[in-house]
Structure 1
Amino acid sequence: MGVIKKIFKENWNEFTILYSDKIRKTIFKEVEKMLECGSLEKGFIEFKCEACGEIKRVGFRCKSRFCTSCGKIRCDDWAEEMTGRLINVVHRHMVFTIPKELRKIFAEKRELLCLIPQCAAKAVISYFKDRNKKESFTPGIVSVIHTFGRDLKWNPHVHMLVTEGGEGNVTIFKKMNYISYEALRKRWQKLLLDELELKMINKKKWFRELKNKIYKNTKEGFYVYAKGIVKTAEAALKYVGRYAARPAIAESRIIKYDGKKVTFYYERHEDGKRVEETLDVIDFIGKLIRHIPEKGFKMIRYYGIYAKSKKHRERFFKLMREAILETKRKLRKWKYRILKYFGVDALECDKCGAQMRFYDIVYEGESIREKLRKKILDDNKRKLEELMHTYGVIKGLIHDKMEPLYI
């Protein structure tokens, strides 16, 4: 059992008693799924060794974004799929941030989080289009919303992978080496503040005053900066694996848990220095669950060339060939994952070393093998009765189906 799952198993009930009225429905569902992840009581797949009869049972996974185990698998799968969509050009990794004064708004109105990638994408796309009004170049953008900082505090921002150039009305693709981050910052600031003002239906006066204050006094907060250049499929995969829809904290960052306190570390953004922080376990749980998104909310979004509606996306060469992508898809099975990360063949019989084979699926206490066996027997029984009836009619053995014979 992972340390995060252990923390929740031992303290979730106490947390719900203290804060039940403040916990969103989505959080209850995601935590419940995470706690039941891999439990044999909820169902399992059964493998059997044909050589010695040994049985191995593997519990179903929860597939929750909050689960550190399933979240990592989800992240890896998405990373490979997304890398297969990227076109074969240089990409830049950009980060768009907001000032502290606005963070509380997004915490209280989580549906507004969609404005962050939307406005950031508008800032980038409008910048590219303004470079040449005739061509109106459109870049490709993949955006990932993060609500957490390295210290787990509420800090909404967006990571973007942006093509270094764009598709024009005439030119297929124009490379653009120079991008002004200061120009992007000003566009980003104006677009987001204007959109937020439109959404503040009952607080327009309050927000207008806050908006003016931000323009006047806030010199920091609306940052747009580059975190690197992505040139190859391997670099893109590494980028996405690190910044995509991952859990707020990795198990490896938790140093100690003693039942009452949790100690974890993070690297401070300003200077890269390692910082260790100790929290009461209830506070730690609170910091984690606030980053669980609402059901159906998309944390990853595509714009420009990468938008689904873009007609000409297929005419570009891809960063990763389809054959390589298909091979990676085949290797996603849990057996190969375990072999990759731990060097262990999960289907090797512990008793005799032979390969185990799939035998059964048990869901909610019901064996699918037994269910199918009964169905086959019932179907065969019906077919047998129908055949016997037909045979009887043909041979004149069933009298009520035959015409009487008079001599």
Structure 2
Amino acid sequence: MIRLAEILDTHWDEYVHEGGRYIPPHVFKAANQIMACRTPILGTDVYRCPNCDTTKFVYHSCKNRFCPRCGQYETDHWAATILSQLPSIKHHHVVFTLPEQLRPLAKANPELLQTLLFHTSAAVIKEWFAEKHHTIPGIISVLQTAGSDLHYHPHIHMLVSAGGLKANQWFELASAYLVNHKYLQKKFRWLFLNQLVAAYDHGRLQLPGELAVMQERREFMRLVKKLHSVAWVVAVQPPLADPENIVRYVGRYTRRACLSEYRITDFSDGVITFECKDYTTAEAGKPGLKTVCLHYGEFFDRLFQHVPLPGFRMVRYYGLYAHFKDLPPLPAEEPRAMPEKLSWRELQIDKTGEDPLVCPACRCELVFWRTEFSAIPFLFPGSRLPELAYADTS
């Protein structure tokens, strides 16, 4: 498997020193942590065998939420936790997508417009349930900013309960039909654009570069008028009795990079080749696959535009699911235990079937000896490994 860290190790310094682009500090941090992950840079736990002096070095992981290696377990644990808390009713998968004409403005104002996308999409669903069924639904919203080809494509994957609380009692929709997607499209468009205009009028929008023309309100309203005339994509899927597949699908990039390393098929001469979905060849609603070849400069440009902003929550909970601990149980529903987080040792045993802290030579248990560590070159690409220090616990 070709690792993202390998590509970064080879070309990140060249990319940084090419000039002509602004690289935010949180992107520098993500790139440097991915390169340092599971290397001596982040520290090493040293274990020794008390019987035969066999030594084992265990490198620390970076735990960056954009790291493709660290995020898999966190993603799986998140999904298991959610599944242990969901009531045993059917759920719909609903997707809200920002139109293409709005994406340059969204890229220039990611925190503001992505927050609007979260709140307005949830408000549309909650308002429909309140008006139609006088019911409070449960909603889990997951933001994804990347399309399969890594272009900027902000959209919300939403898990929506097929029912909810009505007069303090559980109510479940009798039909598999949730709502006409055209109704959601119009409501979503109206609510989002109203809040976007309000943000503009309060001076909250950044309008750099080609967007500067919209500093004149007439030009901004011209865009708004155009957005009112296009269809906003909202997709509503039939309900599933078992939401596990939906939860794992929508949560697959909540704690890791938007590109799984298994999709990278080749890396040579500064060109990265990876697989992505081809919606032009979709059969029975399932897209085919195609390969994309990118020079490392464009590859990094596409990939790192999706690093989450510091402190920005990519998963949000609304309605009944805003407070899982206060959620009343369904009648006759048995309580389910929350999954426990595995230690590094337990995780390795679970993955490989072998205990990593047992001496391979004499089968004695290895004993922790010391931790060696060094500073992390978070921001400055010229910073390389300083002298290794260590904490000796012997």
**Could you state the TM-score of these two structures normalised by the residue count of structure 1?**
0.81
Q: 2-side partners of 1:85 and 1:7: how far apart?
A: 39
Give the letter for the 1:335 counterpart.
R
The CA deviation at 1:168 is: 1.7
Select between 150-159 and 206-215 the one with higher mean Cα deviation.
Answer: 206-215
Q: Does 1:179 align with 2:178?
A: yes
Residue from 287, 294, 318 that aligns with 1:303: 318
Q: Paired residue for 1:242? A: 252
Q: Unaligned regions of 5+ residues in structure 2, if any? A: 204-214, 375-388
Q: 1-side partners of 2:104 and 2:313: how far apart?
A: 20
The CA deviation at 1:103 is: 0.8
Q: Judge conservation of contact 2:42–2:62 (CA < 8 Å) in 1.
A: no
Q: Among the aligned pairs, what percent are the same residue?
A: 28
Q: Judge conservation of contact 1:40–1:59 (CA < 8 Å) in 2.
A: yes
Residues 168-206 of structure 1 deviation map (CA, whole Å, 9 limit, x = unaligned): 234333435331222112111111111111112354433
Q: Paired residue for 2:306? A: 291
Q: 2-side partners of 1:249 and 1:124: how far apart?
A: 30
Q: 1-side partners of 2:151 and 2:178: how far apart?
A: 30
Q: Does 1:367 align with 2:381?
A: no
Q: 2-side partners of 1:318 and 1:66: how far apart?
A: 41
Q: Paired residue for 2:160? A: 162
The CA deviation at 1:212 is: 1.3
Q: 1-side partners of 2:120 and 2:333: how far apart?
A: 27
Q: Does 1:211 align with 2:224?
A: yes
Residue from 253, 274, 292 that aligns with 1:277: 292
Task: Decide which structure has the larger Cα Rg and report it.
Answer: 1
Q: 1:238 to 1:297 in 2, by over 3 A?
A: closer
Question: Could you say which structure has the greater relative contact order, defined with CA pairs below 8 angstroms and 6 or more residues apart?
Answer: 2
The CA deviation at 1:361 is: 3.2
Q: 1:313 to 1:256 in 2, by over 3 A?
A: same
Pairwise CA RMSD: 2.5
Q: Paired residue for 1:380? A: none
Q: Unaligned regions of 5+ residues in structure 1, if any? A: 371-407
The CA deviation at 1:17 is: 1.2
Residues 77-124 of structure 1 deviation map (CA, whole Å, 9 limit, x = unaligned): 222222222222111111111210011111011112111111110010
Q: How does 1:8-407 map to 2 (within 5 A)?
A: 8-19=8-19, 22-112=22-112, 113-132=114-133, 136-175=134-173, 177=175, 178-180=177-179, 181-201=181-201, 202=203, 203=215, 204-216=217-229, 218-219=230-231, 222-227=232-237, 229-232=239-242, 234-235=244-245, 238-242=248-252, 244-270=254-280, 271=282, 272-308=287-323, 312-316=326-330, 321-323=335-337, 325-326=338-339, 329-330=340-341, 332-364=342-374, 365-367=389-391, 369-370=393-394
Residues 120-148 of structure 1 deviation map (CA, whole Å, 9 limit, x = unaligned): 1001000100114xxx3110000100000
Select between 69-78 and 88-97 the one with higher mean Cα deviation.
Answer: 69-78
Q: Judge conservation of contact 1:85–1:319 (CA < 8 Å) in 2.
A: no
Aligned residues: 359
The CA deviation at 1:237 is: 5.0
Partner SS, residue 137 of structure 1: coil
